Amino acid sequence: MRFLRFLTENRYAGYALFAVLLVALGLFLHRSVSQVGALDLDVLSLPSIIVALILIMLAYVNRFVFWTVLTMAFGLRSGTIRAARAFFLSLLGRYIPGKAGLFLFRLRAYSGGTRGRVGASLLTEYLATSLAACFLVVFGTLFIPVESILLTRVLPAAMAILLSLLLRPGFLKRFLNRLLAFLGKQPLAEIPPAPVLVKVTLGYILTGLLHGAGFFMLLRASGQAGWEMYPVVTGAYYMAGLIGMFAFFAPGGLGVREGIVFLILPHFADMGPVLLSVAVMRLLTITAELLLTGMAYFPAAFDEGRSYRHGK
Per-residue pLDDT, averaged over 269-274, amounts to 67
Whole-prediction pTM:
0.80
Q: What's 152's DSSP letter?
A: I
Is residue 224 within 8 A of residue 274, CB to CB? The reply is yes
259-265 mean pLDDT: 59
- The pLDDT score that the predictor gives to residue 310 is 46
The reported pLDDT for the residue numbered 265 is 61
pLDDT tens per residue, range 60-85: 999 999 999 999 999 888 888 888 88
pLDDT confidence of residue 22:
59
Reported residue count of the chain is 312
Calculate the alpha carbon distances from 8 to 70, 86, 108, 214 in Å. 21, 11, 5, 34
Tell me the residue type at 39.
L
Residue at 265: amino acid letter = L
pLDDT of 24 above 70: no
Average pLDDT value for residue range 27-40? 58
At residue 143 the predicted structure's pLDDT band, cuts being 50, 70 and 90, is low
Contact in structure between 293 and 257 (CB atoms under 8 Å): no
* pLDDT for 171 beyond 90: yes
User: How do residues 204-220 score in pLDDT, each as one tens digit?
Assistant: 999 989 998 998 888 88
Cβ proximity of 32 and 131 under 8 Å: no
Cβ contact 196:67 at 8 Å: no
258 compared with 255, residue with greater pLDDT: 258
Within 10 angstroms of residue 311's Cβ, the number of other Cβ atoms is: 6
What is the pLDDT confidence band of residue 43, given thresholds at 50, 70 and 90?
low
Q: Are 26 and 96 a contacting pair, CB within 8 Å?
A: no
Q: Are 138 and 156 in contact (CB under 8 A)?
A: yes
What is the residue-averaged pLDDT of the chain?
76
Give the closest residue to 8 by CA, choosing from 112, 108, 109, 111: 108
